[in-house]
Structure 1
Amino acid sequence: MTIFPSAWRALPRPALLGLFLFFCAGFADGAMVPFFPLWASSEANIPIGAIGLLFACYAGGELVAAPLIGGIADRVGRRPVLVLSALGVGCGFTALFFVHGVVATAIVLLLTGMCESVLHPTILTVIADVTVPSTHPRWFSLAHVSSGAGQILGPACGALLALISLSSVFLAGGVMLLLGGIVMLVALAETIGSGRGDEGADEAGEEGLSALLPAFRDGRLAKLLVWVVLFEISGNWIEAVIPLYAHDAGTLAPSGVGALFAYAAALTVGLQMLVSRFAETRSALWLTIGAGISTIAAFALLAASPAMISLVAAVSLCAVAQMLVGPLVPTAVNALAPSARRASYMAASSVAVDLKDSLGPSIGTALYALAPRLPWVAGIPLVAIASLGLGAAIGRARNPSRPSEDDATPQLGSAVENYR
């Protein structure tokens, strides 16, 4: 079954709006992330070793909020959650343009992260609500492409704005997410009842708060997410450390950093669907090992030299790694989730990403403060172990030795088999 019918209007409208919001979020992240370390070290006069702590404030807000409100879209609806979270993150990014000082910046990042905690998982939930399981891998690949398209324009726009002021990139990202929130308010219809019956709805109402912590109730999900965190932590060092590494080596100016990450996003947009078709015939373990080898090669190049050719090759290899693994993880999580708790499971998955966004920059910049090449050297064994563990965890989930407590939960094997 294909998700590319002859007319775009035949596609589910909520899913298309979800792709648009992914674009807005990708633009905001692309505009902010590459320039945040440079802004913090130059304009905010923050020590390099402490920059990761500000990143951690943003991710920390997500970590605090996710267990409390992560599954709220299963009870109050997808539409209000998406509207409020998009507007909240947009206001937070915009506020960064006006705030001054480490404490004020940390508070804004913490509140912004709390709003962001439900943004991405709820978008994925909306897409899963209105599409059939056999097409989820391709839709999640399209979500990756949409985010990548935003991450082309975000760094490109940020590179131009950085010529004026590094803080102006926050304003651009905030305005884009505010636009996304307004579009969701006007155009998005509620999808909470799509694809599940009244029995599932009753179950969601009875479960209450316990449904917010599926990772503690489903061992397969918990094991999967542990390996996701380990794999993504080191991969995050590319975004967090390269701006400092390239700037201190005199290889790239701030505008050049933006152009580099715009190139990486363009690579994702151009190749994601091609890589996804290639991946359909490969096992999950093959994909994670391939992603690990690609990331290790990138780290080896960066450890060898901060020259331009090494930077370009490294971000290219890491982009390929994300193309291989990116659509696989949400597909696996969604396949494990009962329909009545779909948003809760996606929120639990987002906690893994939040941990990556918190621990990744903190550890990466701290290692960089000790020695410029230390993040790349330390990352090689970490990626090797994590890629093997992630592939094995998905394989075990596909062939469980015993059924989970949710007998109605769709088996991961059938959904990932469609991906294969």
Structure 2
Amino acid sequence: MTAISSFWRAMPRPALLGLFLFFCAGFADGALVPFFPLWASSEGGIPVGAVGLLFGCYAGGELIAAPLIGGIADRVGRRPVLIFSSFGVGCGFIALFFVHGVAATAIVLILTGMCESVLHPTILTAIADVTAPSAHPRWLSMARVSSSAGQILGPACGALLVLISLDAVFLAAGGMLILGGVVMLVALGETIGSGRSAAGDRGDEEEEEGLSALLPAAFRDGRLAKLLLWVVLFEISGNWIEAVIPLYARDAGTLSPSGIGTLFAYAAALTVGLQMPVSRFAETRSALWLTAGAGLSTIVAFVLFMASPAMLSLIAAVSLCSVAQMLVGPLVPTAVNALAPPARRASYMAASSVAVDLKDSLGPSIGTALYALAPRLPWAAGIPLVAIASLGLGVAIGRARHASTIGVDAEDIRPERSATWSTSPATEEQF
């Protein structure tokens, strides 16, 4: 215990605070997402067909704001952005406790999404400011674990709160992020000095901000555009799990709102327990092998959903979908980094973030609209979509890995860069 305590005391405080804020954000998402469709359709006065559009409003707020204020932390500092965004998202979630109707809920979600657009990127930036580049993969992995841990406790807490009222989950989600904002206000120091000194050699190209710093990177690089297109297509159906299962299980009489929260908590726990073993298993497999395996797992899950909404089918299907995400999740950021020129890595990762927001906007909207037509239609439509997208994604990631290998060989010719590249391929593969 003494050794563990000494280890944590030696860690940079801003990085540890970043992990805590990731936990708060994961808790809020876990407490809110599984129950939002139930609240919207039963207590919020919102038609089932519009539930997905409201999910899209949240992601839409991020899409609107990310190109405009995505780089604001470079101008005003990490600390004020983290404090403001934590309070903004927390207050937005709490505001959902008081609003009803499609229009009011949509406005609140758009504003909340705008605040959230800078939360996760700025946390990662603050962590990178105070840690060595060689340690970034480890810290980013710890951030994913922190978020997943929050996503375990969030649904579990939500499952208890819905026994009182569905609205109570908004207070819990918002309260946790406000707590994170208070902790940042009290304990976090500014880290931007470290980040600028470490990034001082990136050149004038990195000074671009606004829309030109995000979306054009994907359009100028056809390989990145194709990769992100396959990511969006593959992940659209994955979003149907979060948006459609609560409605599907409730309407079939399989799970209560509390049971749905427990199911999502189980999925997060499965990810925390198996992500590292699955990642080690994946190190020796090709990208196409991994994406094909993820696609097959998802297809089998959709077949189970179509066959029966029974408890065992839901548990098995959710487990298979979690395994699919474990296989694909680490591949995408690695491939984006492989494609990015050294001076444009931030821009490429920002473009990747916009693609994720686009997926979060389209997925629930399409899934709930299909569900409104027929309860099993999302799963039937998702099978061919997943089959095509998983193969295309595997090919795109494989090409990115090949490009990275060529880049490493070329960089080895220049001595001043060889030290950087000598460790990056293995590190990126592990991440």
Task: Give your verdict on TM over 0.5.
Answer: yes
Distance in 2 of aligned mates of 1:412 and 1:48 = 53
Q: What is the TM-score with the length of structure 2 in the denominator?
A: 0.87
Comparing 341-350 with 50-59, greater Cα deviation is found at 341-350
1:210-235 per-residue CA deviation (whole Å, 9 max, x = no partner) reads 32433334443322221111111100
Distance in 2 of aligned mates of 1:131 and 1:271 = 26
How many aligned positions are there? 413
Aligned equivalent of 2:245: 242
Displacement, 1:413? 11
Q: Which amino acid aligns with 1:205?
A: E
SS in 2 for 1:198: coil
Comparing 133-142 with 242-251, greater Cα deviation is found at 133-142
Distance in 2 of aligned mates of 1:383 and 1:158 = 30
Aligned CA distance change for structure 1 residues 333 and 300 (closer, same or farther; 3 Å): same
Counterparts of residues 3-402 of structure 1 (less than 5 Å)? 7-132=7-132, 135-192=135-192, 193-194=194-195, 196-200=198-202, 202-205=204-207, 210-213=212-215, 214-337=217-340, 343-400=346-403
Distance in 2 of aligned mates of 1:296 and 1:412 = 39
1:346-400 per-residue CA deviation (whole Å, 9 max, x = no partner) reads 3322212211211111100111111111111111111111112222222222233
Aligned CA distance change for structure 1 residues 206 and 44 (closer, same or farther; 3 Å): closer
Q: Structure 1: which 5+ runs fail to align? A: none
Aligned CA distance change for structure 1 residues 27 and 208 (closer, same or farther; 3 Å): closer
Q: Does structure 2 retain, via aligned residues, the 8 Å contact 1:159–1:257?
A: yes
Q: Does structure 1 retain, via aligned residues, the 8 Å contact 2:68–2:210?
A: no
Distance in 1 of aligned mates of 2:265 and 2:14 = 27
Q: Does structure 2 retain, via aligned residues, the 8 Å contact 1:70–1:348?
A: no
Q: What is the TM-score with the length of structure 1 in the denominator?
A: 0.89
Distance in 1 of aligned mates of 2:165 and 2:227 = 41
Aligned CA distance change for structure 1 residues 122 and 292 (closer, same or farther; 3 Å): farther
Comparing 85-94 with 245-254, greater Cα deviation is found at 85-94
SS in 1 for 2:202: helix
Aligned CA distance change for structure 1 residues 145 and 206 (closer, same or farther; 3 Å): closer
SS in 1 for 2:201: helix
RMSD: 2.8
Q: Which amino acid aligns with 2:241?
A: I
Q: Which amino acid aligns with 2:301?
A: A
Q: Does structure 2 retain, via aligned residues, the 8 Å contact 1:227–1:390?
A: yes
Q: Which amino acid aligns with 2:383?
A: I
Q: Which amino acid aligns with 1:79?
A: R
Q: Moved runs in structure 1, 4+ residues, more than 6 A? A: 410-413
Aligned CA distance change for structure 1 residues 31 and 400 (closer, same or farther; 3 Å): same
SS in 1 for 2:375: coil
SS in 2 for 1:314: helix
Displacement, 1:59? 1.1
SS in 2 for 1:71: coil
Distance in 2 of aligned mates of 1:315 and 1:412 = 39
Comparing 83-92 with 250-259, greater Cα deviation is found at 83-92
Distance in 1 of aligned mates of 2:427 and 2:387 = 25
Q: Which amino acid aligns with 1:166?
A: L
Q: Which amino acid aligns with 2:201?
A: E
Comparing 58-67 with 247-256, greater Cα deviation is found at 58-67
1:9-64 per-residue CA deviation (whole Å, 9 max, x = no partner) reads 33343333222211111111111111011001111232211111111111111111
Comparing 176-185 with 188-197, greater Cα deviation is found at 188-197
Comparing 333-342 with 240-249, greater Cα deviation is found at 333-342
Distance in 1 of aligned mates of 2:38 and 2:266 = 19
Q: Structure 2: which 5+ runs fail to align? A: 412-416
Q: Which amino acid aligns with 1:226?
A: L
Aligned CA distance change for structure 1 residues 304 and 206 (closer, same or farther; 3 Å): closer
Distance in 2 of aligned mates of 1:411 and 1:49 = 50
SS in 1 for 2:403: coil
Q: Does structure 1 retain, via aligned residues, the 8 Å contact 2:338–2:401?
A: no
Q: Which amino acid aligns with 1:332?
A: A
Q: Which amino acid aligns with 1:41?
A: S
